């Protein structure tokens, strides 16, 4: 083993304390203390110290029994009363320890840690679901899910380990050391002579392995990222016959991790040898010097027995903690990644939750709107337009012209103060986000469905909808295929609606639209992924629901917007033409060029 410079060792300890382990520990216990309360936490501290104290009294009582026997051997008189008294105390100790340990284990360790786990999950889950859309786009879904699952689990497993094993063991060791010092200082120093070496080794191996173990955890994340990427693009992987390539890549990552983990495991296994040798050395020293003092009549046999017994009560709990260090490192690194991921993201907070829309007419206006997802590139440039109530408008032109961005801004997925968007002459920044979004329904090209029943997917649009309302919505959306399924609306459609075809999923989304019955409807290339026949069927249902409501249509297929009231042609984030279909065709500008190409493709 390489020698470590003492100054570097101290610097590494301080570095770890400030940046990694200390930060993770502080966050774990801060949340726990806030959850149970400071006074209750202090009570827990005294309780586990008291239970630790009771647990270590047994060797003291046993040493008293040995004293009675020693007195009998010396005087040939057996003190029966004292012997019975000790046995009664012993029985009382056992009964008290059993009861208090149950209370400690269940009411303090189990219940409080489980409650803490529940609250951290609820707290962080709420924050994740309220994450802003712009923040979500910067995240990897697999990373969010994995770090959430592992990080919240640490709030139970690590704290439970602390309460069940760590705190009680450390408390017991400290109390035993005090008792030993009170009995005989010389024997205490001899018994604990190897303890500083054990502590130094703990620090040494911790510093030596912590960052390496953290890097291996990151490697595991990378390996799982490969697997997630394949599963997320499973059809493409199959179509391009990429299985062997990804298997080779995954095997390489796992083999590398395996090699490095084995090296770390060797270090930890080697450290176990040191611990075993230190405990054995301590026993030999206690027996050697204890026997010498016993022969010299400087200590009693009961005292020697007491110190020899307490050796195990000191070193074995510490060796258990030492042996658990690898798992502690892993859990603290998970806690660290959890807080790095979830502590600093922007929230979709509704500052104006009380300011709700009422009697909505849906007069929409964009005035001098400039916007870009990054500072170096604008998507929208001095955009100006207005939409009258119940008007049907369409936005067309090339990809990245800013059509979908308009919808994102209208729904306040981004909030920027350098422009003005108004609804019924109210700046949308002053309107409740929930209220604003409750009046809008977006039908997209890829409509997400939840991994639950058709009934529950529909009820997300209208909570508590009756069976007749659901049936009516399905009929209006021409989604009668539902009633041919074995369990009808109680059929589970699997993740992303994999049991359904594209047109079936689209019809279910339109059924939700009929249930929601919003004042404004946004069609974001809603039929672009469908064949011509299916598109006409879907378009028929959409035309039905667009009656008597404001509609914004974003489309590449211009055949779907011939009958709208107004068409806005966008180029580089600005409106270059606006009129109805026939007028724009007669004008012979950009729109007519696009429309001609569209007609050729039909």
DSSP string, 398-441: STTSSHHHHHHHHTTSS--SSSEEEETTEEGGGS-HHHHHHTEE
3-class secondary structure, 493 = coil
585's enclosing H/E stretch is helix 581-587
pLDDT at 334: 79
| Of residues 536 and 431, more confidently modeled | 431
Confidence of residue 403 (pLDDT cuts 50, 70, 90): low
Biggest distance spanned by C-alpha atoms of the chain: 127
As a CATH number, domain 364-601 is 3.40.50.300
- In this structure, are strands 550-554 and 520-524 parallel, antiparallel, or unpaired? parallel
pLDDT tens for each residue of 266-325: 777 777 777 778 888 888 888 888 888 888 888 888 888 888 888 888 888 877 777 777
Question: What's the N-to-C CA distance of the chain in angstroms?
Answer: 76
Do 248 and 186 form a contact (C-beta atoms < 8 A)?
no
What gap in Å lies between CA 118 and CA 494, rounded to an integer?
Answer: 27
**What number is the average pLDDT over the span 523-531?**
66
What pLDDT is attached to residue 566? 92
Please check the confidence at residue 396 and state whether its pLDDT lies above 80.
Answer: yes
Count other C-beta atoms under 10 Å from residue 562's C-beta.
13
* Beta strand 380-387 pairing with 520-524: unpaired
| Mean pLDDT lowest among 155-169, 441-455, 575-589 | 441-455
pLDDT at 418: 64
Structure tokens of 93?
Answer: 């100790």
pLDDT digit string (tens) for 169-201?
888 888 888 888 888 899 889 888 888 888 887
How far is 166 from 317, CA to CA, in rounded Å?
8
pLDDT tops 80 at residue 221:
no
- Beta-strand ranges (E) seen in 358-487 are 364-371, 380-387, 392-396, 420-423, 426-427, 440-444
Q: How many other CB atoms are there within 10 angstroms of residue 251's CB atom? A: 11
- Counting Cα atoms < 13 Å in the Cβ hemisphere of 395 gives 28
Residue scoring higher pLDDT (451 or 530)? 451
Q: CA–CA separation, 465 vs 487, rounded Å?
A: 18
Contacts of 114 (CB under 8 A, 6+ apart): 156
User: Which one has a higher pLDDT value, 466 or 168?
Assistant: 466
**Which residues have C-beta within 8 Å of that of residue 240, sequence separation ≥ 6?**
none
Where does the pLDDT of residue 61 fall: very low under 50, low under 70, confident under 90, or very high at 90 and above? Answer: confident
| Domain range list for the chain | 24-342, 364-601
Mean pLDDT of 251-255: 83
Judge contact between 210 and 20, C-beta under 8 A: yes
Give whole-number Cα distances, 552 to 76, 279, 386, 481, 523, in Å: 106, 78, 12, 28, 6
- pLDDT at residue 235 greater than cutoff 70: no
Confidence grade of residue 412 (pLDDT, cut at 50, 70, 90): confident
pLDDT value, residue 104: 84
Among 7-16, 189-198, 261-270, 592-601, where is mean pLDDT lowest? Answer: 7-16
Bridge partners (DSSP) listed for residue 440? 520
> If you average pLDDT over every residue of the chain, what do you get?
79
The pLDDT, as a whole number, for residue 354 is 66
The predicted model gives 54-62 an average pLDDT of 80
Residue 600's pLDDT is 41
Mention the CATH class of domain 24-342. mainly alpha
Beta strands across the sheet bearing 520-524: 440-444, 520-524, 550-554, 392-396, 566-571, 574-579
Question: Where is pLDDT greater, at 259 or 214?
Answer: 259
So what's the pLDDT on residue 1? 41
Tell me the percentage of the chain whose pLDDT exceeds 70.
86
Q: Report d(CA 474, CA 471) in Å as an integer.
A: 5
Q: Tokens representing 125?
A: 């889950």
30-44, 52-66, 136-150, 416-430: the lowest-pLDDT one: 136-150
Q: What is the CA radius of gyration of the chain?
A: 36
pLDDT at 447 over 80: no
Which residues partner with 574 through β-bridges? 571
Instruction: Give the distance from CA 15 to its chain's centroid.
Output: 26
> Per-residue confidence at 599, pLDDT binned at 50, 70, 90?
very low
SS3 172: helix
The set of residues, in sequence order, having a beta carbon less than 8 Å from that of 395 and lying 6+ positions away, is 403, 406, 552, 553, 554, 567, 568, 570
- ∠485-511-530 over CA atoms, to 5°? 85
Highest mean pLDDT among 54-63, 462-471, 556-565, 590-599: 462-471
pLDDT of residue 13: 46
Instruction: Determine which of 161-165, 232-236, 467-471 has the lowest per-residue pLDDT on average.
Output: 232-236
Residue 575: per-residue pLDDT:
87
> Of the spans 2-16, 336-350, 412-426, 452-466, which averages the highest pLDDT?
452-466
Compute CA distances 497 → 219, 453, 502, whole Å: 33, 10, 9
């Amino acid at each position: 083993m390489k020698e470590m410079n003492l100054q570097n060792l101290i610097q590494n300890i301080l570095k770890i304390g400030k940046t990694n382990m200390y930060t993770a520990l502080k966050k774990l216990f801060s949340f726990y203390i806030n959850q149970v309360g400071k006074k209750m936490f202090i009570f827990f501290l005294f309780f586990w110290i008291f239970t630790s104290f009771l647990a270590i009294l047994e060797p003291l009582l046993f040493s008293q029994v040995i004293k009675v026997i020693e007195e009998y051997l010396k005087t040939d008189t057996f003190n029966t009363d004292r012997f019975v008294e000790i046995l009664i105390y012993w029985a009382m100790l056992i009964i008290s320890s059993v009861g208090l340990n149950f209370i400690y284990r269940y009411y303090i360790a189990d219940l409080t840690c489980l409650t803490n786990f529940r609250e951290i999950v609820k707290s962080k889950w709420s924050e994740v679901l309220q994450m802003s859309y712009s923040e979500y786009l910067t995240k990897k879904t697999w990373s969010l899910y994995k770090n959430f699952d592992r990080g919240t689990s640490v709030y139970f497993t690590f704290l439970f380990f602390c309460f069940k094993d760590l705190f009680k063991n450390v408390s017991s060791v400290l109390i035993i050391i005090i008792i030993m010092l009170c009995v005989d200082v010389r024997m205490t120093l001899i018994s604990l002579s190897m303890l500083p070496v054990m502590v130094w080794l703990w620090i040494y191996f911790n510093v030596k392995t912590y960052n390496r173990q953290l890097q291996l955890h990151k490697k595991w994340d990378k390996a799982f990222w490969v697997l997630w990427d394949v599963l997320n693009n499973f059809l493409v992987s199959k179509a391009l016959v990429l299985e062997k390539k990804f298997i080779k890549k995954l095997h390489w990552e796992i083999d590398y991790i395996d090699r490095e983990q084995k090296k770390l495991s060797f270090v930890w296994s080697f450290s176990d040898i040191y611990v075993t040798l230190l405990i054995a050395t301590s026993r030999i020293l206690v027996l050697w010097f204890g026997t010498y003092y016993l022969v010299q009549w400087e200590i009693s046999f009961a005292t020697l027995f007491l110190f020899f017994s307490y050796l195990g009560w000191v070193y074995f709990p510490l060796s258990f903690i030492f042996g658990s260090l690898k798992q502690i490192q892993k859990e603290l690194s998970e806690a660290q990644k959890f807080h790095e991921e979830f502590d600093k993201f922007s929230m979709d907070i509704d500052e104006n939750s009380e300011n709700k829309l009422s009697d909505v007419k849906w007069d929409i206006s964009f005035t001098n709107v400039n916007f870009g997802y990054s500072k170096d590139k604008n998507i929208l440039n001095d955009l100006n337009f207005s939409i009258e109530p119940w008007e049907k408008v369409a936005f067309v032109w090339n990809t990245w012209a800013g059509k979908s961005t308009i919808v994102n801004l209208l729904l306040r997925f981004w909030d920027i103060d350098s422009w003005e968007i108004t609804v019924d002459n109210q700046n949308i920044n002053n309107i409740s986000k929930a209220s604003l979004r409750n009046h809008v329904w977006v039908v997209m090209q890829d409509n997400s469905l939840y991994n639950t029943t058709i009934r529950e997917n529909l009820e997300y649009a209208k909570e508590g909808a009756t069976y007749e309302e659901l049936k009516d919505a399905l009929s209006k959306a021409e989604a009668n295929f539902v009633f041919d399924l074995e369990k009808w609306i109680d059929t589970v459609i699997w993740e992303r609606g994999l049991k359904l075809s594209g047109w079936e999923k689209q019809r279910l989304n339109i059924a939700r639209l009929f249930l929601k019955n919003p004042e404004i409807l946004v069609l974001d290339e809603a039929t672009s992924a469908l064949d011509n026949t299916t598109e006409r069927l879907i378009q028929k249902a959409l035309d039905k629901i667009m009656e008597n409501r404001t509609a914004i249509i974003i489309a590449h297929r211009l055949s779907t917007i011939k009958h709208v009231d107004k068409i806005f042609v966008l180029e580089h984030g600005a409106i270059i033409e606006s009129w109805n279909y026939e007028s724009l065709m007669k004008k012979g500008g950009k729109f007519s060029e696009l429309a001609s190409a569209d007609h050729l493709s039909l």
